[in-house]
Amino acid sequence: MSPPVTSARISDIGRYTDTPKLMVPAFGLGILGLLATLAGYFATDAKGEAAHSYLLAFSYWVGISVAFLLMVCIFHTAKAKWPIVLRRTMETAAASVPVFILLLVPLLLMVKDLYSWWPESPLAAHIHGVEVEHLKHKQHGYLNPTFFYIRQAIYFGVWVFVALRMRSWSLKQDETGELDLTAKQRRFAPGSLPFLALTITFASFDWLMSLTPMWQSTIYGVYYFSGSFLAAFCVLTIVTANATGANLYGNVVKPDHFHNLGKLMLAFVAFWAYTAFSQFLLVWIANIPEEAPWYGLRIFGAWRPMSIALFFGHFLLPFFVLLSRSLKLQPRKLSVIAVYLLAIHAVDLYWLIWPALTGTTGPTFHWTLVTAFLGVGGISVGYALMQARNRFTLPVKDPYITESMRYVQP
C-alpha cells in the first residue's frame, strides 16, 4: 500500500535526530567488513580474489554517490521543481563522497594484484607479444602509477568540491531562507556537469577498463554511469518509501513523486540496455583483435549463462514490469523492484570485473565478495547518516518547496 498522503506541513517537520539507530550499526558492519577483507588480502593466498572483490564494492558504492551528485546538478540545471522534496536525500548521499577518499586507500594497496600494467605486478607474467609493446610504448604515458595517482586526486577533488559546495548552500538556506542561494545553485550546477561527467568517465577507465589494458571502449564510461544512475534512483526510491517516521520527508511525498521515480528507473533500464548493446555492436562490427577477446570471453564458454542472464534480468524483466503505471504508484512494490535492480547492478559489475581474474574458468565465489561489499557499503551509508544527523530531511526554505509538495502528474 502507498503511504497515506497526509496534511503535514513543513512546519511540522523538525530536525532528524534518530540517526544513531542506523548509523552505529552501519559503521560497525562496515568496519568489520573492511577488516575481514583486508585480512583476506594480507593474511591469505587469495590476494587476487580479495583485491577484485574490493574493487567491485568500491566501484559500486562510489558510483552511486557520484550519480546522486550528478542528479542534484541535473535537477538544478533543469530548474525542476517536483524533486525538491527528495533533494536533501540526494545531497546527503552525494556528500558521502569524501569518505571514499579514505576507502580508496585499501584499493591503492591492492593495485598490483589488479592491474597487469602496474610495475612489479604478478599479473605481468600473463601478458606477452603485442600486449607488452602496447604497455611499454603506446599506453605507458597514461597507464603509469604517477599519472594514476594524479588522476585520482583530480576526480575526488572535483567531486568533493561540488558536493560540499552544493550542500552547504542548501543547508544555509534552511537557516536563512535567502532566495539568492537557490540562484547560486542554479548557476553553479550547469558549469559543474561537464567536469562531473568527464571525471566519472575517466574514473571508470582507470578502475575497471584498465583491468584489461588492451580493451578500449569510448562508451565504457557511459555504460558504468548508466548502471550507477539507475542504482541511485533505486536507493532514492527505497529511502523515500521508508522515510515516513517523525520529522522525515516521506510524510509529504505523494504517489506522483513515486510515479516519476518509477519512470526514471524505467528510462535508465532502457538506457543501460542501449549503451550495452551499442558497445557490443561496435566491437562486433569492428572485430579488432585487441578488442574482440573481451566480449569473446563473456559470450562464449563458462561466462555465457551470466551474459544471457544479464540480458533478461537487467533489461527485459524490469523493463516490462516497470511499464505498469499502477506499480509505479505503489511505493512498497516499487521498492521491491528497486532492491532487485540494486542486486542485478552488483551482478553487472561482477560480470565486468571478475573475468579479468578467472578468465575462461568462469564465475567463481569468494567470501571477500560479501565482506568487501558490506564493508564499503556500511562505511559509506554510516557516513551519509552522520551527515543527516540534526538536519532537516528536506530543504524547508527552498522557495519552491510548497509547489513540489503539491506536485501533480501533468
DSSP annotation string for 103-145: HHHHHHHSGGGT-TTSTT-GGGGG--THHHHIIIIISTTTSSH
What pLDDT does residue 8 have? 54
The pLDDT, as a whole number, for residue 321 is 97
pLDDT for residue 134: 60
Sequence-distant contacts of 303-310: CB under 8 A, at least 24 apart: 303/351, 303/355, 303/362, 303/363, 306/347, 306/351, 306/363, 307/351, 309/347, 310/344, 310/347, 310/348, 310/351
Residue 131 has what pLDDT? 61
Query: What per-residue confidence (pLDDT) applies to 125?
Result: 64
Q: How many CA atoms lie within 13 A of 237 on its CB side?
A: 34
At 245 the pLDDT is 79
C-alpha to C-alpha distances, 6 to 9, 189, 258, nearest whole angstrom = 9, 33, 15
Neighbouring C-alpha atoms within 13 Å toward the C-beta of 354 = 23
DSSP 51-82: HHHHHHHHHHHHHHHHHHHHHHHHHHHTT--G
Report d(CA 54, CA 373) in Å as an integer.
7
Predicted confidence at residue 2, as pLDDT, reads 39
Please give the pLDDT value at position 190: 97
pLDDT at residue 14, rounded to an integer: 79
pLDDT score for 402: 92
- Distance (Å, whole) CA 351 – CA 297: 11
3-class secondary structure, 95: coil
d(CA 129, CA 374): 40
Mean pLDDT by 10 residues, the chain (410 residues): 47 78 94 97 94 98 98 97 96 96 97 91 67 61 92 98 97 94 96 97 96 89 96 97 88 94 97 96 87 91 96 97 96 97 98 94 96 98 94 93 90
Q: What is the distance of C-alpha 267 from the center of its chain?
A: 17
Query: Does pTM top 0.85 for this prediction?
Result: yes
Please check whether residue 377 is in contact with residue 99, taking contact to mean a CB–CB distance below 8 angstroms.
no
CA-based angle 193:199:201, to the nearest 5?
100
Rounded distance, CA 245 to CA 394, Å?
14
Cβ-Cβ contacts under 8 Å for 250 (sequence gap 6 or more)? 3, 240, 241, 242, 243, 244
- Contact 60/354 with Cβ under 8 angstroms? no
Assess contact for 147 and 229: CB atoms under 8 A. Answer: no
Nearest-CA neighbor of 344 among 375, 390, 370, 306? 306
